[in-house]
Each structure stands twice: as structure tokens, then as C-alpha cells.
Amino acid sequence: MARVIAGVEQATQGSIKLMDEEIAHLTSSKRKAIYKNMQMIFQNAIDVISPRMKIKTFLLEPLINYKMMSKQMALLYVVKILKKVRLTEEVLEKYPHQLSGGELQRVCIARAFSLNPKVLICDEITSALDVSVQDDVMKLFIEMQKEYGTACLFICHDLALVSQYTERVMVMYLGHIVEVLESYKLGSKALHPYTQSLMQSVLYLDTNRDRKIKTIEGEPGHPAQMTTVCPFCMRCSKATSRCYKENPKLKKIGQRHCVACFEV
């Protein structure tokens, strides 16, 4: 989904709008202008930055490419935004291998926010970090997001983190949206069997040691073969004959809560 929104993959149907402008089928020249308002932060920061590129060059590149300011002004701006992500200007003369994973991810966050985008796509931005660093990066990220007012699409498999830092959750299985609900309702109001299974797999410090962890039986089907049936039917304990014949559509259950399941 993120790759289609960002234009990395071509949309085959449907509509994608950014600020009421259709962006699903733009030419490459027109899409370049869109990227100023849409940025991505990836999972492994070390793979994003060229090992031969200094951090200074990496941060200045988008500002110069979009002709937002002169190189001299851009350098002052970069120093300012580095301070916001708790890094000093000494970082500018370093190469990627000279920084820790947490520092590199903060550099990527600084670059993404430097263009003041309207939309920011975050692809597992904390999964490659230690738990203690994860917390620091997420607090910083939320701080920056509130300051810039950027809408964020946050892709993550850590449901505890998702429920803590996001406002609304879209649960997907094999590329299909199976449930949409507010984050704080994940633990108590989730209705789709897949969402419930995900929540039962989350362990907390005060988790009852005698609690049995329910596993999802079976193997996922091939996405290309699951377009006309319920994508979760082969692994769902509640599946009926209808689930093997028809793909359930999202239906509204309550305010800001939708589920794609025949049995709900």
C-alpha cells in the first residue's frame, strides 16, 4: 500500500488523492513535485544513505534539489533541524558507518521533516533499533510530528507500540483491510478474528504466566488466489462456507470502526 501511495508501484485501479489532487497516475515529472509533500522513512537507515556520502550531503540534497534555499542558507537550516532531533552539527562531517543505528534513524527523520511534508510514510522505522532507543526515537518522532502537523502513515507489527503512539489503526492481512478502529480500542474492542489473534500474542510485564497463548493455525494462502474469498478463511476458526465463496466488504460497526467479516 505504501509503495503504491508513494508511486514506487503503479496503481491498477482506485484513486489516491493528496490535498484533493489525484496522484495515482501522474507522469514522472509531475510526481517529482508531489514528493516534496510526501516523504518516506525506511526501516534500515544504513541502507538509505550511501556509505560514500557525508551526512551533510544527505541532508542538503533535498533542499537544493527543490531549490528551497541557497546552499549557505540550507546549511544553517540543517544545523537547526539537527538540534531538533538531538544531534550536534559535528554529525555533518561524518559518514553513515560512524553513527549508531539510533543516530542514523534520527538523521533520516530530520531529512524527512526538513521539507515540511504534508504526508510522511514510516515503514517499520523502529524495528531495527534496541528497545531503549526505540522509545527515544518514537518520542522524538511524535514531538516533530506535532510541531510540523504532518499526517503520518505508520507501518508497524508491534501492536503495543501502535496502540501507544497512533490515533487510528488499519489492520491488513494479505493486502486486504480487515479492520479499522481507534488505537485505544485495540485491546478491548477488536472484532475481527485476525486482529483478536494479534492482540492475544502481545505479552506485557504483568501478563499471567498461566495464560495460554493462542496461535493461528494453518498457512496463509497466496495473495493472488485470495481475491474472491475471505483472505483469512484458511486460518480462521469461525470460517463458514460463505467465507470460502465471497470476500467480505468493510462494514461500519460503530463510530470510526469498520470490520470485514461475515460473522461480526
Q: What is the CATH number of the domain that holds 46?
A: 3.40.50.300
If asked whether residues 233 and 250 sit together in one domain, one would say: yes
If asked whether residues 207 and 264 sit together in one domain, one would say: yes
Q: What is the pLDDT confidence band of residue 87, given thresholds at 50, 70 and 90?
A: very high
If asked whether residues 118 and 54 sit together in one domain, one would say: yes
Between CA 232 and CA 227 the distance in angstroms is: 11
If asked whether residues 72 and 171 sit together in one domain, one would say: yes
pLDDT at site 211: 73
Between CA 161 and CA 3 the distance in angstroms is: 22
> Domain end: 163, 185, 207, which one?
185
If asked whether residues 174 and 230 sit together in one domain, one would say: no
> Domain end: 153, 185, 217, which one?
185
If asked whether residues 193 and 171 sit together in one domain, one would say: no
Burial (CB count within 10 angstroms: exposed 0-12, middle 13-18, buried 19+), residue 48: middle
If asked whether residues 210 and 181 sit together in one domain, one would say: no
pLDDT at site 131: 80
Q: Is the pLDDT of residue 263 over 80?
A: yes
For every residue of 114-176, DSSP letters joined together read: HT--SEEEEESTTTTS-HHHHHHHHHHHHHHHHHHT-EEEEE-S-HHHHHHH-SEEEEEETTE
Q: Indicate the DSSP class of residue 208.
A: -
Query: In this structure, what C-alpha cell is assigned to residue 112?
Result: 524527512
Terminal C-alpha separation, the chain = 25
Question: Using one digit for the tens of pLDDT, what is the confidence trace for 16-47?
Answer: 988 888 888 887 777 888 888 899 998 888 88
Q: Which residues pair with 177 in a beta bridge?
A: 172
- Please name the residues in contact with 89: beta carbons below 8 A apart, sequence gap of 6 or more: 79, 82
Question: Domain containing 202: what range?
Answer: 186-264
pLDDT at site 20: 86
If asked whether residues 48 and 113 sit together in one domain, one would say: yes
If asked whether residues 44 and 155 sit together in one domain, one would say: yes
Question: Using one digit for the tens of pLDDT, what is the confidence trace for 184-230?
Answer: 998 889 999 999 988 887 776 777 777 777 778 888 888 888 889 99
Amino acid at 154: F
Q: What is the pLDDT confidence band of residue 236, given thresholds at 50, 70 and 90?
A: very high
If asked whether residues 94 and 171 sit together in one domain, one would say: yes
Structural domain count of the chain: 2
If asked whether residues 73 and 181 sit together in one domain, one would say: yes
If asked whether residues 167 and 191 sit together in one domain, one would say: no
Q: Is the pLDDT of residue 126 over 90?
A: no
